[in-house]
Chains A and B, each alone.
Chain A
Amino acid sequence: MSTTTPPDRRGDAAPEPALVWRGCTKTFETPGGGSYDAVRDIDLVVPAGRFVSIVGPTGSGKSTILNMAAGLLEASSGEVESFGAPVRGVNRRASYMFQQDALLPWKTVLDNVALGLTFAGVDTREAHDRARVWLERVGLKAFTDRYPHQLSGGMRKRTAIAQAWIVDPDILLMDEPFSALDVQTRQIMENELLNLWSGSGKAAVFITHDLDEAIALSDEVVILGAGPGSTVVATYEIDIPRPRDLLEIRDDPAFIDLHREIWGRLKQEVERTYAAQNERESA
């Protein structure tokens, strides 16, 4: 196992779920001195090795839920557990892919990918060797010495994938990682992500507002209600067999049926969000 594996790692046979949210509420203070709940009483379980997407209308606190699992945000009440241990500070079992560019602009692609190993104290040569292997895997072998601004959006996302995967995390947290890409690049990236993930045994939590994307990638889709104070309103099992070809899956009858069913539920929440928005604006 890699040197990044934390010492408190349990035996492989332990059936502990990768992530459990127990009655998690997150309250934010507003600048005016008031406060509001971004999410309320979130109860959710992500078993190890499972791909779960969280979908919800704008402002439903999707990122808040993810950040609590990452340990970047602390729940105001309730608790997040990861593999049986409560999350205190940054979750060392998880990697995070952000919606925005999170590569360090002053480091080359190679140094960016090697970053997690550098932090773990791996010596530079070995870190670079392992980073090269990852860059080859994501098709960026020829771009190791470039700086992030010299890459296209899709290439930056590949670098971010390599950066997140090189530390061999047990959990992948992804916050709309491909939302800034054009539709074609996005489908290619989704396919590549799925190829990397399948058989890796890693748990994945994927935030998106795109239901197509959620169904195509996941074992389970979780629907959040309209915010603020949103909570889990429904979960759906996605039983489309794997391996899936994401470039074809949107024509699959099973996909179409699931999409119709889930969209029926999601639509209510989206409509509620817009109704609330209009009310606020006219008030």
Chain B
Amino acid sequence: MSAQGGTTRDDTALQAAGVRRRQGRGVSNLAMRGLQLLLALVVLGLWELGGRAGLIDQFFFPLPSDIFATVWTWVSSGYVFPHLWVTMQESVLAFVIGAALGLFLGFLLARVRFLDRLFDPFLQMFNALPRVVLAPIFLLWFGLGIWSKVAFGVTLVFFIVFFNTLEGVKGVDRVLVDNARMLGAKESHLLRHVFVPSALTWIFSSLHISVGFAITGAVVGEYLGASAGVGYAIAQAQGVFDTRGVFAGMFILMVVVLVVDVLVNRLERYLLRWRPAR
């Protein structure tokens, strides 16, 4: 009886939310997409016309049509793919290593109060350091290959995952822990069934940022000194004052990051499916 009551209440709540959403939106999804496309075309069109009329300097702001032509050349000739491949390798390695280190140290410090207090000032110091200044020293330590970029990306990813893990484990609801202990959970059970899932929610919520940072680390590292990668391709174009190439590199990176973001969204929705919709 109360079960039915509950379902009815939920249904009403859902319907109410649906009504609110429809009212709030005003314009349908499809129409909004059309408007967004129109806005993009207008901006690009004005840019193109301004450039052709001489109002915008084509050297600093190359025509959109020229940028797309360069993108097409890079893609159709296959020039960009080896560079993309290197950048992706560096990003994935930076993410995996940084996340693993962050998770490990986060759990350790959250469960061992002594270590937390011991390490705290040092971690704060390293976190306060603007990470870009590490790139030159990593270049000297690890050379021009992918490992200097990976190391750079790791320093970016690590701190995000670390602090989120620390907060996630410390912030576990006391009642959940007490309940699990009353049901007979040992420390290893608590870790596996309570602390890890709780910390993972924090880490997944920061997944967009940490994945973005992994890519940022790779590209910035390549820009400062490399022999391959999208950042290197952009630096090369800049070196010969080829602004079209710089913009083309930016555009390709943008598309790649968007695709990665969509994939991360899918993954997040699957892994956090137990969470109430926001």
Contacts and interface: CB of A to CB of B under 8 A. Distances in A.
Interface of A: 4, 70, 72, 90, 92, 94-96, 98, 100-108, 115-116, 118-120, 139-140, 143, 147-155, 163-164, 167, 184-185, 188-189
Interface string B266-278: 0000000111100
Given A107-B274, A115-B183, A96 B178 contact: yes
B179 interface: yes
B193 A115 contact: yes
Given A105-B274, A119-B189, A139-B3, A152 B181 contact: no
26 contacts: A70-B178, A72-B178, A72-B181, A98-B175, A98-B178, A98-B179, A100-B173, A103-B179, A105-B275, A106-B197, A106-B198, A108-B274, A115-B180, A115-B193, A118-B189, A119-B184, A119-B186, A149-B275, A152-B3, A154-B2, A154-B3, A164-B183, A167-B184, A185-B2, A188-B2, A189-B2
Contacts, number: 92
A154 B6 contact: yes
Of B9, B180, B182, B186, chain A has the most CB atoms within 10 Å of the CB of: B182
B223 to A, nearest CB: 40
Contacts of A154: 2-3, 5-6
A163 B201 CA distance: 24
A155 B182 contact: no
A70 B92 CA distance: 47
Contacts of B3: 139-140, 143, 152, 154-155
Contacts of A102: 175-176, 178-179
A153 B6 contact: yes
B133 interface: no
The 4 A-B residue pairs with the shortest CB-CB distance, nearest first, are A152-B6, A102-B179, A116-B183, A154-B2
B1 interface: yes
A163 B274 contact: no
Given A106-B274, A119-B184, A163-B183, A152 B175 contact: no
Interface in B1-56: 1-3, 5-7, 9-10
Nearest to A95: B182
Contacts of A167: 183-184
Contact of B175 (A100, A149, A155, A184): A100
Given A147-B273, A154-B6, 18 more contacts: A70-B182, A72-B182, A96-B179, A100-B173, A100-B175, A102-B178, A103-B179, A105-B274, A106-B197, A106-B198, A115-B180, A115-B193, A119-B180, A119-B186, A143-B3, A149-B276, A152-B2, A184-B5
Interface of B: 1-3, 5-7, 9-10, 173, 175-176, 178-186, 189, 193-194, 197-198, 201, 273-276
A90 B181 contact: yes
B197 A120 contact: no
B159 to A, nearest CB: 25
Nearest to B182: A96
Contacts of A98: 175, 178-179
Of B1, B2, B176, B197, chain A has the most CB atoms within 10 Å of the CB of: B2
B181 to A, nearest CB: 5
Given A4-B184, A167-B184, A155 B2 contact: yes
B274 A92 contact: no
A261 B90 CA distance: 77
B184 A188 contact: no
Given A96-B179, A116-B184, A185 B194 contact: no
A100 B175 CA distance: 7
A152 B193 CA distance: 23
Of A116, A140, A153, A167, chain B has the most CB atoms within 10 Å of the CB of: A116
Contacts of A90: 181-182, 184
Contacts of A140: 3
Contacts of B7: 152
A139 B178 CA distance: 26
Nearest to B276: A149
A107 B189 CA distance: 14
A189 B184 CA distance: 25
A119 B5 CA distance: 33
A119 B190 CA distance: 10
Of A96, A101, A119, A163, chain B has the most CB atoms within 10 Å of the CB of: A119
B165 to A, nearest CB: 16
B52 to A, nearest CB: 57
Contact of B184 (A72, A104, A120): A120
B274 A147 contact: yes
A119 B183 contact: yes
A94 B179 CA distance: 11
